[in-house]
């Protein structure tokens, strides 16, 4: 005769048997899934979010404006890697139009070229060539000025601390000493330093670049990114021998790795050479009296920049007036990069 205890034991055995059956079935299913995954793995490529790029509204709305469209802007750094047509197409797709820049509709995109298009001279339409030339250089000029203003702000901040009798950290002391030396200012004469550490208006830089480089088509630009025809007598500098150099001359035209380096050297030359002291004095007056720093006014001081003297100034002012370059003296760079690459150098 079976007791209640015997029935209870039977129920427990039946329950354990059911549990083992379920566990066995689950194990079989898991093994089957693992086998299927090994034989036919899923696509496990990481889908990181794309960079959010600040583009003009009408550009952002274009569905065809994809990363594929930007390939011309992500090419190599040599002059032969970029054509005028590629650059024009890329600028158009990004909505970069000088008219919109002049009218304040858009800021200047942070597109920094390493070299000008190698076939710029092949553009038969003068206005087309000039427009592309200005578009290519304007971001670099603004970037150079942006760097100088940051340097100037740091100098002002450190001078203020010192005037208050406060200490400055060792890193700032080293930087300040090097800055005085780089700008050729003896003794810690901050007023002299600040007179030298300041911008060159885009209108002046664009006009001089156009005049000195033949609108970006000269041999010196093609071979050495030399926009401003700066002479060098230093044997250690890379340089290009002018074809018409006299037998009694030994200067060369200084060559640069990029047009940005050429621009930096040009600005530093205006900011430090004794021949351009009058430019710096006029600029400091405009700065100290809170007036706009105008390229047309500073151009009147550059009679020593060229052997042509006053005629050189006349040429610069004609370029400025004909192309409305003064309108670029107040434009700014866009807040963010328009390309996803960390260093958008073309």
Contact predicate 217/121, CB 8 Å: yes
Mean local confidence (pLDDT), 171-182? 98
One domain, residues 238 and 143:
yes
**Distance from C-alpha of 116 to C-alpha of 292, rounded to nearest angstrom:** 30
Measure the CA angle with vertex 278, ends 275 and 283; round to 5°: 125
Residues 148-157 pLDDT 10s: 999 999 999 9
SS (H, E, C) 50-70: CCCCCCCHHHHCCCCCCHHHH
Q: Which token pair is 233?
A: 């007598």
Same domain, 286 and 247: yes
Q: Across all residues in the chain, what is the average pLDDT?
A: 80
266 three-class SS: helix
- 115, 78 Cβ separation under 8 angstroms: yes
pLDDT surpassing 50 at residue 163: yes
Three-state DSSP class for residue 333: strand
Residues 160 and 29 in one domain: no
pLDDT average, residue stretch 220-241: 82
Give the mean pLDDT of 262-275. 97
Q: Residues 311, 204: one domain?
A: yes
Separation of alpha carbons 223 and 78, rounded Å: 10
Residue 19 to residue 280: CA distance in whole angstroms: 91
pLDDT band at 337 (very low <50, low <70, confident <90, very high): low
What is the per-residue pLDDT for 196? 98
Count CB atoms within 10 A of the CB of residue 339: 22
* pLDDT in the model for residue 21: 52
- Asked whether residue 163 falls in the same domain as residue 210, the answer is yes
In the chain, what is the greatest distance between 2 CA atoms, to the nearest angstrom?
A: 132
Asked if residue 335 is part of any domain, the answer here is: no
Judge if 172 and 311 occupy the same domain. Answer: yes
**What 3-state DSSP class applies to 345?**
strand
**Alpha carbon 80 to its chain's center:** 20
Q: How confident is the model at residue 230 (pLDDT cuts 50, 70, 90)?
A: confident
Domains: count for the chain: 2
In which residue are the tokens 């001279």 written? 121
Percent of the chain that is helix, strand, coil (3-state, to 5): 55, 5, 40
Q: Is residue 270 part of a domain?
A: yes
Does 307 share its domain with 219? yes
Quick check: is 323 in a domain? yes
Here the tokens at position 101 are 């820049």
For residue 119, the domain's CATH number is 1.10.530.10
Assign 267 to helix, strand or coil.
helix
Q: Confirm whether 226 is domain-assigned.
A: yes
Pair (26, 67) in one structural domain: no
Q: pLDDT, tens digit, for every residue of 89-124? A: 999 998 999 999 999 999 999 999 999 999 999 998
Residue where the block lists tokens 């003009």: 56
Question: Which of the given ranges, 25-29, 36-40, 126-130, has the highest pLDDT on average?
Answer: 126-130
Range of the structural domain that residue 29 is part of: 1-43
What's the pLDDT at 242? 74
The CB-side HSE value for 316 (13 A sphere, CA atoms) comes to 28
CA angle 104, 106, 107 (to 5 degrees): 95
pLDDT at 141: 98
Q: Is residue 51 part of a domain?
A: no
The answer to whether 228 and 266 are in contact (CB under 8 A) is yes
Within-domain flag for 57: no
Question: Is 147 contained in some domain?
Answer: yes
Q: Which of 2-11, 30-39, 268-277 has the highest mean pLDDT?
A: 268-277
- Indicate whether 245 and 318 sit together in one domain: yes
What's the confidence (pLDDT) of residue 241? Answer: 74
Can you give the pLDDT at residue 253? 85
Question: Is 142 among the domain residues?
Answer: yes
Q: CB within 8 A of 226, min separation 6: which ones?
A: 213, 218, 220, 240, 253, 254, 255, 256, 262
> Beta 231-232 vs 252-254: how paired, if at all?
antiparallel
Q: Give the tokens for residue 85.
A: 């047509």
**Domain identity same for 181 and 317:** yes
CA 169 to chain centre: 30
* pLDDT at residue number 295: 98
User: Quick one: pLDDT at residue 37?
Assistant: 43
Asked if residue 25 and residue 149 are part of one domain, the reply reads: no
What pLDDT, on a 0 to 100 scale, did the predictor assign at position 220?
Answer: 87
What pLDDT does residue 76 have? 37
Residues 277-329 have pLDDT tens digits of: 999 999 999 999 999 999 999 999 999 999 899 999 999 999 999 999 999 99
Q: Three-class SS of residue 86?
A: helix
First to last CA, the chain: 96
Structure tokens at 201: 């208006």
Handedness of CA 326, 332, 334, 336 (dihedral sign): positive
Shared-domain flag, residues 7 and 92: no
* Residue located via tokens 């530093």: 268
């Amino acid at each position: 005769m079976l007791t209640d205890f015997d029935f209870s034991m039977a129920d427990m055995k039946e329950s354990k048997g059911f549990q083992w059956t379920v566990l066995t079935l689950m194990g079989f299913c898991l093994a089957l899934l693992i086998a299927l995954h090994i034989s036919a793995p899923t696509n496990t490529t990481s889908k990181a979010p794309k960079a959010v790029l600040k583009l003009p509204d009408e550009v952002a709305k274009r569905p065809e404006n994809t990363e594929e469209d930007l390939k011309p802007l992500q090419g190599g750094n040599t002059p032969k890697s970029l054509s005028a047509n590629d650059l024009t197409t890329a600028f158009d797709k990004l909505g970069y139009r000088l008219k919109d820049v002049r009218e304040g509709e858009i800021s200047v995109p942070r597109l920094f070229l390493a070299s000008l298009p190698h076939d710029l001279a092949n553009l038969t339409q003068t206005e087309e060539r000039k427009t592309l030339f200005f578009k290519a250089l304007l971001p670099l000029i603004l970037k150079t000025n942006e760097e100088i203003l940051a340097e100037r702000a740091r100098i002002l901040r450190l001078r203020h601390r010192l005037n208050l009798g406060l200490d400055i950290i060792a890193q700032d002391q080293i930087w300040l000493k090097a800055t005085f030396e780089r700008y050729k200012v003896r003794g810690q004469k901050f007023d002299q330093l600040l007179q030298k550490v300041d911008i060159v208006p885009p209108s002046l830089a664009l006009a001089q670049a156009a005049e000195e480089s033949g609108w970006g088509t000269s041999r010196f630009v093609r071979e050495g990114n030399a926009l401003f025809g700066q002479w060098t007598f230093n044997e250690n500098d890379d340089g290009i021998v002018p074809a018409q150099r006299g037998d009694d001359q030994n200067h060369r035209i200084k060559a640069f790795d990029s047009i940005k380096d050429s621009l930096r050297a040009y600005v530093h030359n205006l900011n430090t050479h004794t021949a351009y002291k009058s430019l710096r004095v006029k600029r400091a007056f405009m700065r100290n009296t809170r007036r706009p720093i105008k390229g047309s006014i500073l151009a009147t001081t550059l009679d020593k920049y060229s052997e042509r003297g006053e005629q050189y100034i006349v040429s610069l002012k004609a370029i400025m007036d004909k192309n409305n370059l003064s309108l670029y003296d107040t434009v700014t760079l866009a807040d963010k990069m328009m390309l996803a690459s960390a260093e958008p150098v073309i």
